[in-house]
Structure 1
C-alpha cells in the first residue's frame, strides 16, 4: 500500500489528529502541520499481531522554518478472523495497562537509582476504541536500528539487552512487592487450556522439526522420536511453564523477547552501545526463566554457544542483583544465581517450543506470505509456506546444535 491507501485505511489519521499529538508533545499550541505521509515501518514477517506504520510530519512552530517529526503507529489488526483471535489473547489491553500504569512506575524508580536510559519507547497517544492503536516515538530519530534478524544477536548485543532486561525484571518484581494488584492484568497465560488458536502451530512445529531431525547427521534417532512424542505433550508442558509458582522469584516478563522486538544504537565502527525493547503486548508476570530461555534459544546468533548461555545468565544475574540492592531489597530476598539458573531449567521448555518455528521465521528470505494466516492455516498456500520455512540450511545448522543441548538438559523428555 502507498501512503494514500494507508491513510484511507485508517481515516482517523487526519491533519488535526496529528497536530494535536504534536502540540501535546511539544507543549506548544502554535504547532501547525504542513504535510504528512504514512508508510509501513516493518515488512511482512516482522510483526504478526498489528500494523506498524511510520508517520512523517512536516510542521512549523510560529514563523520558523519547516521541521520534520516522525512517529510509529501501531494499529490492531482489522482482518476479521485475526482480530477476533488476538482479542482473546488480550494483547492490546495488556499493552495499554503496561503503558498507563506500570511503565510510569518503572521509570520513576529507575530515576531514583540514577539510571537515565529508557526501557521502552515513549507513547504519545493511546486509543482504546476501534481501531485500537498507539502512537509511539520513532526510535530511529534517536539513532536506534533494528537488529539483523537473519544473523541473530551476537554476544555483546545479548549482554546489552540482558542488562536492560535485568533492570526491567528487578524493578517490576519490586513494584509487585509493593502492590500486587498492579499486575492483575498480566497473569493471563500466553499458552493456556482455554484458547486453542496456536495449538496447531506448536504441534506442527514439533512434527516438522522431528522430520528434519531424522535427516540431520549429528542428531540421534532418539531425539527425533522425542520430538514426535512432544506433539502430544507440548501444550500441557507450555501451560505448566505459564503457571506461576508464588514461592519463587517472579517478575514481569516482556513475554515476546526475541530479535524482532529489540533495537540498538551503534558506534561508527558498528559496535552496539545500547539496546531498547519494543512491543510489550504479551507481557506476563511469572518466572524470569521465561524471558531468558525465550531470548537465548530463539535469537542468539550461531556464534553464541550453549556455554555462552550460562555466562550470559550470569551477566544478567549480576545486573539483576545490583539493581534489586539499589531498590533496597534485602540480601535475603535477592535470588541466588543458582535460583535463576534453575528457573531457566524449569521454564526453558518455552524457549525450546518457540525456537522450533521462530528461528526459521527470522531466517526467511521471501516474506510475501509471512503472516498469521499462513502460520496457522490449512490451505495449500499455508502448508507450502510452512514446508519451505523449515528447509532453510541455517535452520539445520542452529537447530541441530540446539537439539543436542535441549536433550542434555532434559527439555525433550
Structure 2
C-alpha cells in the first residue's frame, strides 16, 4: 500500500502553471523530480510527495524550489474513502487556522504562525483530492526522531505553541461563534458506535493477549481488562463538550510526526510548526495534551516530568488567554488537573494505540489496513507492535502509573 507510483496528473506542466502564477521571473522548469517525502511505514492515510524542481528564471539563472503534495493513499481512479478528511484539512488551512493567526495579529504584539504556506494549482480543478504546501525543510524545519522521543526543551516549545493555538481557538468562539457540528462532534457520537466498537475490539483483543507479558499484578490485569470493555461508551462520553468548562479546537492527532522544529542551536528551539490537520475536534484540551505527553517525550522524562509539563502548559495557556482578552472559564491549575482526571481516557488510548506506532521503526506492514483491521495479517502486526521491546519497556511502567493516578478506573 505504500509503494504507490506518482499519479499521472502530477506533471511538470501543472507546476509550470503554479510557478508562472507565483514568480514573475519564472521562465521554465529544467528538472522535475517527485519523490516520497516520508519513509515506508510512515504514511497511514495519504501519500506524501516531495516535488523538487530546478527552475530557470528569465535572466537564465537557476533556482531550486520544492513543495509537499499530499494525495489519497488509494490507486489512481479508485474511490477515496477519506475524502471528508481532505475537506476538513482544507477548511483548516483555508479558514480556521488563518482566523486563529489573525486573532493574535489584531489583539497582541506577537504573531505566531501555526501552519506551512498552503497553495493551490491554478486553472482547471485537479481531479483528485490534494493538499499542496511549501516544503518546510527549505526554511530549516525538520521532524524529531519519533523513536527516540523529545528532550525537555523540545517538549516545552511544543507545549507553548499548543497553548497559543488552544487559547486562540477558545477566543475564536467568542469573536466568531461556534465551530461547525462536524468539528464539535467528530467521530465521538452514537452514530459512529459501530465503527468505535470494531476499532476497540480489533485493538483490545491482541493488546489484552500481549498484556500478559507486561509483568502486571493480577488485580491490574483485571482492572485494565474491565476498562477496555467500556471503551466505546467512554469514547462517546469523552466527545461531549461541557459548556461550563474551557473547550478548544484540538489538532486531533497531536504526536511528534505532526509538528516540525526549527532549531536555534542544539538545545534551543526557534519555532514549531504544525502539520496534518485531518482530525480537528472542538472539546477538551486533554485530547491534544495527553496525546502529546503519552507519545512524544523521551521515556526518561515522560512520567517523571508529567506534572511539570501540565503546569507549564497551563501557565502558557492562561498567559495567552489573558493576552487575547479572553475572560470566560479559564481553569486554575487544580481545576485543570481535575479536568484531566475526568478526561483521562485519552491517556490510555494514546499509550495503548499511538505509542506503539511511534516506537515502531519504519515497517512495510505499517498501513491503515493493519492498524484498523482484524485480518490475520492485521492481528499479527498489532501483536508485533505490542511486543516490541521498546514498547514493552514503557507500557509495563505506564499502565501501573495510569492506575495509580486514577486515570484508569
Cα distance, 1:29 vs structure 2 = 6.5
1:124 aligns with 2:119: yes
Cα distance, 1:71 vs structure 2 = 0.5
Cα distance, 1:292 vs structure 2 = 0.8
1:312 aligns with 2:309: yes
Whole-Å separation in 1 of the counterparts to 2:42 and 2:330: 36
The equivalent residue for 2:374 is 378
Cα distance, 1:37 vs structure 2 = 1.0
Paired residue secondary structure (1:404): helix
Cα distance, 1:241 vs structure 2 = 0.8
Cα distance, 1:239 vs structure 2 = 1.4
Alignment of 1:221-232 (within 5 A): 221-232=218-229
Whole-Å separation in 2 of the counterparts to 1:293 and 1:346: 12
Whole-Å separation in 2 of the counterparts to 1:124 and 1:164: 23
Paired residue secondary structure (1:274): strand
The equivalent residue for 1:106 is 100
1:296 aligns with 2:293: yes
Whole-Å separation in 1 of the counterparts to 2:27 and 2:179: 37
Q: Is there any run of 5+ residues in structure 2 with no aligned partner, and where?
A: none
| Deviation sequence 1:139-175 (CA, Å, 0-9, x none) | 1111111111111222221110010000000001101
* Cα RMSD, aligned residues only: 2.6
Q: 1:355–1:115: structure 2 CA closer, same or farther, 3 Å change rule?
A: same
Paired residue secondary structure (1:194): helix
The equivalent residue for 2:341 is 345
Q: 1:238–1:44: structure 2 CA closer, same or farther, 3 Å change rule?
A: farther
The equivalent residue for 1:209 is 207
Paired residue secondary structure (2:31): strand
Cα distance, 1:210 vs structure 2 = 3.1
Q: 1:301–1:83: structure 2 CA closer, same or farther, 3 Å change rule?
A: farther
Q: Is there any run of 5+ residues in structure 1 with no aligned partner, and where?
A: none
Cα distance, 1:333 vs structure 2 = 4.1
The equivalent residue for 2:350 is 354
1:60 is matched with which residue: 45, 56, 63?
56
Whole-Å separation in 2 of the counterparts to 1:70 and 1:2: 22
Cα contact 2:186–2:280 (8 A) shared by 1: no
The equivalent residue for 1:286 is 283
Alignment of 1:82-161 (within 5 A): 85-87=81-83, 90-112=84-106, 113-125=108-120, 130-161=127-158
| Deviation sequence 1:169-206 (CA, Å, 0-9, x none) | 00011011122244444123234332344543433433
Paired residue secondary structure (1:397): helix
Whole-Å separation in 2 of the counterparts to 1:206 and 1:353: 10
Whole-Å separation in 1 of the counterparts to 2:2 and 2:317: 45
Alignment of 1:225-240 (within 5 A): 225-240=222-237
Paired residue secondary structure (1:399): helix
2:65 is matched with which residue: 65, 69, 84?
69
Aligned residues: 405
Cα contact 1:250–1:285 (8 A) shared by 2: yes
Paired residue secondary structure (1:304): helix
Whole-Å separation in 2 of the counterparts to 1:333 and 1:411: 24
Paired residue secondary structure (1:211): helix
Bigger shift: residues 345-354 or 194-203: 194-203
Q: 1:44–1:339: structure 2 CA closer, same or farther, 3 Å change rule?
A: farther
1:250 aligns with 2:244: no
Whole-Å separation in 2 of the counterparts to 1:212 and 1:2: 27
Cα contact 2:347–2:407 (8 A) shared by 1: no
Cα distance, 1:86 vs structure 2 = 3.0
Cα contact 1:96–1:126 (8 A) shared by 2: no
The equivalent residue for 1:263 is 260
The alignment's TM-score, normalised by the length of structure 1, stands at 0.90
